[in-house]
Chain A
């Protein structure tokens, strides 16, 4: 296998989050709607209609360009890409061709082996999305134009990905960034983000690239990895058998687990691009550029680094806390609140990751729900209750969970359920005596008296169980030792 070099490039299509469509005031929030209920005369391409560019779409696409380290071009031009296919109403798609909005950027991915790799981005341009075809009974297709005219960014990587894993990581990283800066919903299932993968193989030593095969419309991380792995194997097997790889478009068939050739003749790439006469060029000045720059938030990689340096987190925790911006914001608000009561950033990270993430996963909720479920004030209250010795750590975890589900303040839960840590020596001494009288304690008592002092831990556990975790562990231990010495 290693006798071949693999070259992969991804074209990612991402909806731009806007209220209206790309070229008119038709509403853009069509997800889940009945077919053809989010369609206007412009998205339907009726004669005599005039497309007018959505300002927010240009701003967000440029912001994306900045996040991807691209150059934002002062001048960009919309072009018509002509082809006849029923997902397009006009017979052409309004896109950008030789003068895109953004050029020459890069992002970094980190492989499972821990290596960081920079992947170049050739361009980012704006276009309109197409309608959706579904195949119906015998010889017919049905078309829904709700998606037609949606603002779309096409982000083209340089052919610098070398394995299916790298392609998946790149796709994941792209989603993280787009959602982080608020330009895309990240919803792969709804098609808000999808990719085409170009892949070729060539024997080691061959200078020119092998024939390029394009795999269309992949909308999951898993599929991109599986489709590419299959396609690479297919191409290498073909070459080894003395065959020739033809340049073509293939589709990924998840059920069969293979790529399938699509009829290439029908899709001859003869798009006859020419400048869109209805849309004057986009010209952006320095003030406009500066405004976009000012909108750019601290990006996930930078934030992860800062979390490690400023809060002493390890890479794994810092990674998890910067998966989504809502989580990173929540964590930092928690750190600030905890600081006031003398708790460490690591303590906050443990609560967010161990309890918060566990409950979100268990209850099937999104990360952004955490701040609603357990507001930062509640998180700080729980940390404070533990720090003050009011509740034991194990009780605090129960309180966190109850607060997560009910929304009640931790202090109210502790009070209502009488969960305050028992530190009253008299009350506890009777519990200790009761436990020592329990036949189940006999073995540990004998061991302790035989010189194995660690056996007291078992007895501490019994007291904890008897008090539902409310006993102060230090006092428990002291009392046990006293009682064992006395009797």
Chain B
């Protein structure tokens, strides 16, 4: 299955990636190849087989409502590229 440039651009947008025209073309062919490979699965006859998202056979894995604790703020922010006032700082989301 071949993806159109628009579809590749849309996927890039969803992943918040900015791709140049060359990259879009490169991704178009690479993603299409991957999809084609996956399409092999279409050959399997799955008539009567229910869609499966879980293979463990488990159900209702629940835990009691007990508090086990939180991280310290230093630990929470340890990996933050940028921070201020005890919070993660990012580029404004509603940028003009």
Contact = CB atoms under 8 A, between A and B. Distances in A.
B63 A54 contact: yes
Nearest to B52: A275
Contacts of A24: 63, 68
B67 A86 contact: no
A139 B59 contact: no
Interface string A36-55: 11111100100000001111
B95 interface: yes
A279 B67 CA distance: 20
A248 to B, nearest CB: 15
B73 A37 contact: yes
Contacts of A54: 62-63, 65
A282 interface: yes
Contacts of A41: 71
Contact of B90 (A35, A39, A140, A274): A140
A272 B93 CA distance: 22
A56 B60 contact: no
Interface residues of B, number: 38
A85 B53 CA distance: 26
Contact of B14 (A58, A84, A145, A279): A84
Given A20-B66, A39-B70, A136-B89, A283 B60 contact: yes
A20 B64 CA distance: 9
Main secondary structure of the interface of B (DSSP, over half): loop
A142 to B, nearest CB: 4
B91 interface: yes
B49 interface: no
A18 B66 CA distance: 9
A252 B42 CA distance: 48
A417 interface: no
Nearest to A29: B67
Contacts of A77: 53
B93 A86 contact: yes
B38 interface: no
A90 to B, nearest CB: 14
Contacts of A34: 73, 86
Given A86-B93, A133-B93, A280 B14 contact: no
Contacts of B77: 36
Interface string A128-169: 000001111001111111000000000000000000000000
A129 to B, nearest CB: 16
Q: Name the 8 nearest CB pairs between A and B, nearest first.
A: A25-B68, A275-B53, A56-B65, A142-B87, A55-B62, A280-B58, A283-B59, A143-B88
Interface of B: 10, 13-16, 53-54, 56, 58-73, 76-77, 84-95
